[in-house]
Structure 1
């Protein structure tokens, strides 16, 4: 089960990398219509929360320390913060829906929060690798099978 935890955390990390790609797709779509960020929205509001819940469940089943199980749930909270930041940024556009300096500043926090959540997921993945007995930076050979130098 601990190797499954390593795998699911890696998949979650890939989902976040893809999330940044989907944000860029939305940003560079011309003309930018309502669907420009559809992939970003679906991945962020459906795929990532499901993978996060699976990660926490597998961590619990792998008998991971409570701290790791809790840390595995942090991305759900940060995804909620992402949605709130986006709504708040949209609330500060002008009457015709055009961005204002304040809405752009708040929108920038969306990207910053995205970086923070990726950092959390990297930490969860590293902890999962350690729990599974894999040494960071190795070839995937469990540490207990590596002979001392």
Structure 2
């Protein structure tokens, strides 16, 4: 089951890398192309599902208390991604096309990029942490014990 967890972890990491690409695609394309929607769709639909599956598979695979806590940290980091926009909205920021960012709201909104980067680094850290827990297949003791013992006569 740990292999399945690592596969989900890898998919989550790839989705986060794609998220960075989609953000850059949206920023560097003309607004009328509306290419930023890929960033929004991935962040609203795919990433939340992958993180929930990541947490569930972590429990099933028994990856350890600390690693489970780290998966929940990932969920909190994802929730904060929306939270930054809610905080900026409460401070008076308005979304495009009539974008207005008064006072300190650009600093709050800049945390969105930092939070996404931290989430990406967290998934990489958890992947290598769980992968380093030991063999994913049969242990060497099981392999040795299951092999037939043959004796060769010495002359």
Query: Shorter-chain TM-score: which interval?
Result: 0.7 to 0.9
Q: Which residue of 2 aligns with 1:43?
A: 42
- Structure 1 ranges of 4+ moved more than 6 A: none
User: 2:35 & 2:104 partners in 1: Cα distance?
Assistant: 22
Task: Name structure 2 gaps, 5 residues minimum.
Answer: 142-155
1:104 and 2:109 matched? no
Length-normalised TM-score, structure 2: 0.75
Task: Name structure 1 gaps, 5 residues minimum.
Answer: 135-140
Count the aligned residue pairs. Answer: 137
- Tell me the C-alpha RMSD between the 2 structures: 2.6
Mapped contact 1:78–1:117 kept (Cα < 8 A):
yes
Distance 1:112 1:128, change over 3 A: same
Residue 101 of structure 1 deviates from its aligned partner by 5.4
| Cα shift readout 1:51-80 (whole Å, capped 9, x = no counterpart) | 111111111111221221221122211111
Mapped contact 1:6–1:125 kept (Cα < 8 A):
yes
Q: Which residue of 1 aligns with 2:128?
A: 126
For 2:5, what is the secondary structure of its paired residue?
A: helix
Structure 1 or 2, whichever has the larger Rg, is: 2
